[in-house]
Amino acid sequence: MLKISPKFVNAVINAEKLEDLFPLLQNAIELEHATIPPYLTALFSFKPNTETAIRSVIHSIVIEEMLHMSIAANILNALGGEPHISNPNFVPDYPTHLPMGISKGLIVGIEKYSPDLVKNVFMEIEEPEDPLDLSKSFKANALPTFRTIGEFYQAIQQKIEEIAPEILPGDPKRQVTSNFFDSNLLYPIHTKEDAINAINIIIEQGEGTSTSPVDEEGEIAHYYRFQELYLRKKLVIDPNAPHGYSYSGPAIPFDANNVQPMFPNTKSHMLPEGSEERRQVDIFNNSYSDLLNGLHRTFNGEPDYINNTIGVMFDLRLTCQKLAETPFPGKEGYTIGPTYEFITTA
Amino acid sequence: MSYLNVPRLTFSGDFISDVSTVNNDTQHYNNSTFQSKYQKPKTEIAANGWWNPEGGATFGFQDCHVKQIIGEDGTSTSDPLLDDIIGQIVCGAEGRNSGKMVDLDPQQQMVSQLWGVTFRILTAKNELLLEGKIDPTGFRNLQMRQQTGGKVNGQPFGGTWTSVIEDVVWGDLAHSSPFLMALKSKTQENKLSINLNAFGYYYNHAKDGRFSLGRILGGLGPWFTNEPKLFAPARRLYGIIGDAPNDNPKTQQPIFFGASNFLFDKKNARLSIDLGSSFPISDSMGNISLNTNLVLAVSKKSITFSASDSINLVTGNDVLFIGEVEYEKGADWINTTSAILDFNNLSNDVVSALEDNQLLLLGRASINNMYSIIAREAIDGIVIRADNFVQRLDTNQTNEVRLYAYQFGVPLQNKNITITQEPPTAVSPKKDNQPPICDIPGNNYPAAGLTFDTTIVTDNNGLAILKLTGNSINCPREYLDGQIYTLDYQLTNVPIDAASGSVMPDNFIAIHLRDHYEIPNTPVWSDIKPTMIQFANLYPIMSKFFIDFSDPDALIAKKDLLIFAFDRDIHDPIYMPVTRDLSENKRLTILKWLNNPIIDEQIVLSTEKKVVDANLAEELLQAKATPLTDYQKQLKDAVRAKNGSNFSSPEIKNLFEF
């Protein structure tokens, strides 16, 4: 899992009242969100109707990041806080460190799909505390000067256990659920136990358990799913392997020609003012900002608003895919990447 | 009375309309003759899928701002120091799709409707001042706007959407605007009246990057109970310089100032006129280069000229002058005022004359005391219009269409209105080696598809209700669902004013009657396959980037999302189908299949049913022998003109200079 600055874990440990956890859960929401644009970009960088197998892996992971973001927001609401989702500070200025990241750590950008991106960025984001060595090419490495996001979540769990009342104080009407998520995964958080179980979902989906690459539902954790893409082999049950799984399943084909040549970390200012391309990028930014506005409403007392945001997500996707096949003016051989810039007003 | 009443605000800016265009071509609905090139953009030599095959039907406001307010006393200001509302942002929904713009049918593209559009006014800090939903409305008053033709943007016409904003929510900060508080206290039923005059729309990928954008001149005012919702109960001024619509479109001199709304407020001795729908502009951005001195006057005698290229003159003695139209060249004036002008403190003579005499828009002629009549009010001041004039109708469904009649702005009570159904039009047979690739169905058959009263009577508010019932029809258009019908209406024994409707007729009701369809007990793939293949063909943006509707396994893989979209309320912008063209039973069948998807083995080559009904065959034969009516000719030409074919729009440099 992502290495983060120890000060955040310490802040959780030192918390004395629920209010002290609010900014830390806000950080968690921001972190979960910050992984979504890079994953979505890779997902939508493929030419239409190609690389279905790879897309379905990334899709499954990005959907779970959305789930994690929702869970973190539900917990913050359950504790009595208010998620802040629609403001410029919520959005990372890619390429950048992820929220809570350490100063010399991983830099995450907005780039087209490549196996190197998966290995150098996505697997780094999702790396467990002690990765299981399911392939010969990866070694466990523990660096004591860092804490991990897993430890951060565990600390929050412990702190909630320690200081929260059995019935959490937040307004139950602010809890968000959706028909698009299994109600065992996204459920209203009313009690301490609900919160603790929900955090387990985040941790396990991200990194598996300490003895297996799958979580308690038998689902392969993100790190190992990304590793499938890098090794281009499915992870399958293998009784002969040390942890019961090995990358000995069917090959996952990949043809680099199926990826659109998106310019990395495209920014709106790179496109000529007044050009049709610039307008498309502005439309993308507007949709993205508007999506965050809609999610802000959703997690601030209008849980049914989630349904309205689905259409914006859809538009965002289509705009991204159209951009991905639009030549980048002045950058020979490149197409335009999604920009993920927050616009204050429509 | 409508957005022209006070207090009123104007706003202007851009709109985006990313309409899809594969579905603009009737032959593209025929699954058996569809070709993949119809999903490609047009080229120099091939129409293909027209100018925006990958459109997604999005409609939204962009970069729109409040420009001016007009207070209860009829005076205006655009100074933000005088009211906080000036300069604020006009925009669409927050956190949801901005809305959709859709045609009723490929055979009725002249009433494009806005659906699911939210209207908001925000401060620069994103704080809400006002929010509401625009009642779905189709455009009207299509008219020539651009003196330079459509060379740059491709579309020289403008059109008007009028509607009400419903369920208005006033933001906390609305209290800081005296204007908004005055509007709130004056309007009724928590609705507002909104008018959007649109022009300068871009079909072309022009250098200025404005593809799929257009300009909007907006007006927002109070709405009153018992008024129509989807047009302004205003008096109407019709342009009469130019060729009548049914002349040869290739050589036609267009009519400018085609149709304008105005309101005469007797009590306050005020005339308010909206030239934002009609003012000639030199380009797609709304720049004005007109040189004519324009004057408004009341005629002392009845003026009945129709549109013609010869100039009709009046002498100063035959009119009472109201005032100059003080327009300014460039784009600032029109974008600030929305070209809505208020003439306050009218003289007693003018007030008295305006009660039952026609308003005229005059150009000052070079001859002494003579004026050219650029536009005149409707003959005898009679305006009759259907409010909800775009109708989607299923078998055995009865809809109520509201028609209103006015004379000189006053409701016409206890008057008969005659409703006439347009006669059937003939099938256009397919051709070899050129379009159409398949037969193009005609419209308005079977004639027995609709049941309605041919005479209805107005009440005290000038309102007459037309009850319209859809009867069972069975694929009269074969590969297109249902049939398009047109009803015309007029005051009984009062001819339609020939000057009304400079491009499209004013007085018609457009109806899509859907095919009779029973929901199968257990729908299988072949039940919905023809519809889904049609979707896949017509909306390449979906099949390319999201889901291949023609593949049942792909539908099953995304069934949760599809059930969600097909189960939305029709007013929700996410509603599927976006075009709102399925009968309720077909939509429910798709939902039923998605909930229990069964892929049957049956291979359906073509489910398009051949017309076997003997009566229908007879009607079709008759249609072939019957010439088009004036409405039908006008519609045909207007569609061609709108779509930029068989139509010239030459640059007109010296408009009204004689």
Structure tokens at B209: 């990057």
Share of chain B above pLDDT 90, in %: 83
Q: Give the pLDDT mean for A124-142.
A: 64
B208 contacts chain A (CB < 8 A): yes
In a domain, B589, yes or no: yes
At B471 the pLDDT is 98
Contacts of B564 in chain A (CB under 8 A): 179-180, 307, 310
Is the pLDDT reported for residue B632 higher than 50? Answer: yes
pLDDT tens profile A33-46:
999 999 999 999 99
Does residue B49 form part of some domain? Answer: no
Q: Is there a domain that residue B655 lies in? A: no
Query: Is B298 in the same domain as B347?
Result: yes
Judged by CB atoms closer than 8 Å, whether chains meet at A276 and B209 is answered as yes
Helix, strand, coil fractions of chain A, as percent rounded to 5: 50, 5, 45
Q: What is the mean pLDDT of chain B?
A: 93
Beta-carbon separation of B205 and A283 below 8 A: no
pLDDT of B312 reads 93
The residues, ordered by sequence, that sit 6+ positions from B246 with a Cβ below 8 Å of its Cβ are: B630, B633, B634, B637
Residue B611 within a domain = no
**Separation between Cα atoms, residue B619 and residue B216, nearest integer Å:** 43
Within this chain, do residues B350 and B463 fall inside the same structural domain, yes or no?
no
Could you tell me if A89 lies within 8 Å of chain B, comparing CB atoms? no
Q: Which token pair is B374?
A: 């650029």
Chain B positions touching A310 (Cβ under 8 A) are 561, 564, 574
Helix, strand, or coil here: A304? Answer: helix
Q: What are residue A294's phi and psi, to 5 degrees? A: -65, -40
**Cβ pairs A/B, distance under 8 A:** 88
Question: Which chain B residues in 71-110 lie under 8 Å from chain A, judged by CB atoms?
Answer: 89, 91-97
Cα of A128 to nearest chain B Cα, Å: 31
Give B296-319 pLDDT, tens digit per residue.
999 999 999 999 888 899 999 999
User: How far A5 CA sits from the closest chain B CA (Å)?
Assistant: 33
Please, are residues A277 and A330 in contact by the beta-carbon 8 Å criterion?
A: no
- CB-CB contact of B156 with B202 (8 Å): no
> Which one-letter DSSP state was computed for residue B309?
S
Domain count across chain B: 3
**What is the C-alpha separation between B572 and B570, in angstroms, rounded?**
5
Query: Which pLDDT value is given to residue A209?
Result: 65
Chain B contact set for A277 (CB, 8 A):
209
CB contact under 8 A, A345 and B97: no
CB contact under 8 A, B545 and A180: no
Of A48, A49, A346, the CB nearest to B92: A346
- The answer to whether residue A56 neighbours chain B at the CB level (below 8 Å) is no
Residue numbers in A near B54 (CB within 8 A): 322
Q: Which of B352, B377, B402 is the last residue of a domain?
A: B377
Residues B500 and B529 in one domain: no
The answer on pLDDT for B186 being more than 80 is yes
Q: What percent of chain B has pLDDT over 70?
A: 96
Average pLDDT over residues B426-446: 93
Short-list B650, B556, B653, CA closest to B596: B556
Kindly provide the residue ranges of all beta strands, DSSP E only, lying in A224-303, ordered along the sequence: 236-237, 245-246
Give the residue-averaged pLDDT of B207-219. Answer: 96
Is the backbone of residue B369 left (phi > 0), alpha (psi -120 to 50) or beta?
left
CB of B544 less than 8 A from some CB of A: yes
pLDDT, tens only, B461-516 = 999 999 999 999 999 999 999 999 999 999 999 999 999 998 889 999 999 999 99
Optimal mutation site among A318, A322, A336, interface B, most CBs of chain B within 10 A: A318
Give the pLDDT score at B639: 84
Which of A:272-291 have CB within 8 Å of B? 274-279, 283, 290-291
Residue A86: closest C-alpha in chain B: B95
Residue in chain A closest to B61 (alpha carbons) equals A346
With a cut of 60, say whether residue B607 has pLDDT above it. Answer: no
Are B101 and B55 spatial neighbours (Cβ–Cβ below 8 Å)?
no
> Is A155:A15 a contact under the CB 8 Å cutoff?
no
More confident residue, B258 or B611: B258
Task: State the DSSP code for A92.
Answer: -
Question: What angle (nearest 5°) sits at the alpha carbon of residue B256, between those of residues B254 and B261?
Answer: 140
Q: Kindly state the DSSP code that residue B154 receives in the 8-state scheme.
A: B
Q: Which residues of B are less than 8 Å from A309 in CB distance?
A: 95-96
A294/B211 touch (CB, cutoff 8 Å), yes or no: no
Q: Are residues B292 and B356 in the same domain?
A: yes
H/E element, B642: helix B630-642
A187-241, pLDDT tens digit by residue?
999 999 999 999 999 988 876 666 778 877 778 889 999 999 999 999 999 998 8
Q: Mean per-residue pLDDT for B558-578?
A: 94
**Using the beta-carbon criterion (under 8 Å), do B544 and A48 form an inter-chain contact?**
yes
Cβ contact B574–A308 (<8 Å): yes
Say how many C-beta atoms besides its own lie within 10 A of residue B21's C-beta. Answer: 22
Best mutation target, B18, B96, B563, to test chain A (most A CBs within 10 A): B96
Do A266 and A338 meet the contact criterion of CB atoms below 8 Å apart?
A: yes
- Using CB atoms, pick whichever of A179, A294, A344 lies closest to residue B94: A294
Whole-number Å distance between alpha carbons of A248 and A135:
10
Q: Measured between beta carbons, which residues in chain A are less than 8 angstroms from residue B560?
A: 179-180
C-beta atoms of A305 and B54 within 8 A: no
Q: Does B58 touch chain A (CB under 8 A)?
A: yes
**Same-domain pairing of B507 and B545:** no
From the CB of residue A89, how many other CB atoms can be counted at a distance below 10 Å?
Answer: 9
3-class SS at A332? coil
A179/B564 Cβ within 8 A: yes
Q: A318 and B560 in contact by Cβ < 8 A?
A: no
Residues 142-201 of A with CB under 8 A from B: 179-180
Interface check A315 vs B, CB under 8 A: yes
Ranked by mean pLDDT, the top range of A262-266, A341-345, B556-560, B632-636 is A262-266
CB B136 within 8 A of CB B99: no
| B548 neighbourhood in chain A, CB within 8 Å | 49
As a whole number of angstroms, the distance between CA B11 and CA B546 comes to 36
pLDDT of residue B510: 98
Residue B367 Cα, gap to closest chain A Cα (Å) = 47
Check CB contact under 8 Å for A312 and B95.
Answer: yes
Q: Which of A158-172, B223-237, B507-521, B600-614 has the lowest mean pLDDT?
A: B600-614
- Report d(CA A187, CA A183) in Å as an integer: 5
- pLDDT tens digits, one per residue of A92-104: 999 999 998 876 7
Domain presence at residue B613: no
Say yes or no to pLDDT of B366 above 90: no
Task: Note whether B372 and B419 are same-domain residues.
Answer: no
pLDDT tier at A135, thresholds 50, 70, 90: low
A93 in contact with B, Cβ within 8 Å: no
> Alpha-carbon distance B615 to B612, whole Å?
9
Which chain A residues are closer than 8 Å to B562 by Cβ? none
Check residue B648 and give its pLDDT. Answer: 62
Q: Same domain, yes or no, for B425 and B311?
A: no
Provide the pLDDT for residue B24: 94
What ranges do the domains of chain A cover? Answer: 3-258
Cα separation, A189 vs A76, in Å, equals 10
pLDDT in tens, B70-90: 999 999 999 999 999 999 999
What's the pLDDT score for residue A137? 40
Q: Does residue B446 share a domain with residue B559?
A: no
Contact across the interface for B573 and A314, Cβ inside 8 Å:
no
- State residue B209's pLDDT score: 94
Domain with B158, as residue range(s), is 8-20+55-377
In a domain, B42, yes or no: no
B614 inside domain: no
Looking at the partner chain, which of B124, B209, B573 has a beta carbon nearest the beta carbon of A279? B209
Three-state SS at B409: coil
Rounded to an integer, what distance in angstroms lies between the CA atom of residue A119 and that of residue A128? 14
Give me the CATH number covering residue B423: 2.60.40.10
| B94/A180 touch (CB, cutoff 8 Å), yes or no | no
My answer on whether B444 and B387 are in the same domain is yes
Q: Say which residue the tokens 């327009």 belong to.
A: B327
- Nearest chain A alpha carbon to B126: A345
- Please check whether residue A312 touches B, CB under 8 A: yes
Residues B186 and B154 in one domain: yes
- A294 with B546: Cβ contact below 8 A: no
User: Per-residue pLDDT averaged across B130-151, rounded?
Assistant: 94
Nearest-neighbour CA in chain A from B86: distance (Å): 16
Token pair recorded at residue B58 = 């999005």
Helix (H, G, I), strand (E, B) or coil at B212: coil
- pLDDT tens for each residue of A64-119: 999 999 999 999 999 999 999 998 999 999 999 999 887 677 899 999 999 999 99
Q: Is the pLDDT of residue B611 over 60?
A: no
Cβ contact A318–B56 (<8 Å): yes
In chain B, which among 549-578 make CB contacts under 8 A with chain A? 560-561, 564, 573-574
In this complex, do A346 and B94 lie within 8 Å of one another by their Cβ atoms?
A: yes
Cross-chain residue pair B94–A276, CB shorter than 8 Å: no
Among A179, A180, A345, the residue with its CB nearest the CB of B124 is: A345
Sign, CA torsion B649/B651/B657/B658: negative
Q: Is A134 helix (H, G, I), strand (E, B) or coil?
A: coil
Domain A3-258, CATH among 1.10.1740.10, 1.20.1260.10, 3.30.1360.120, 1.10.3300.10: 1.20.1260.10
Instruction: Tell me the CA distances in angstroms from B214 to B14, B117, B231, one per residue in order.
Output: 6, 16, 21
Interchain CB distance below 8 Å, A346 and B544: no
Residues B346, B223 share a domain:
yes
Does B531 share its domain with B428?
no
Q: Closest Cα to residue A301, out of A141, A170, A124?
A: A170
Say what the pLDDT of residue B149 is: 85
Q: What is the DSSP letter of A251?
A: B
In this structure, is residue B607 part of a structural domain? no
- A346 touching chain B per CB within 8 A: yes
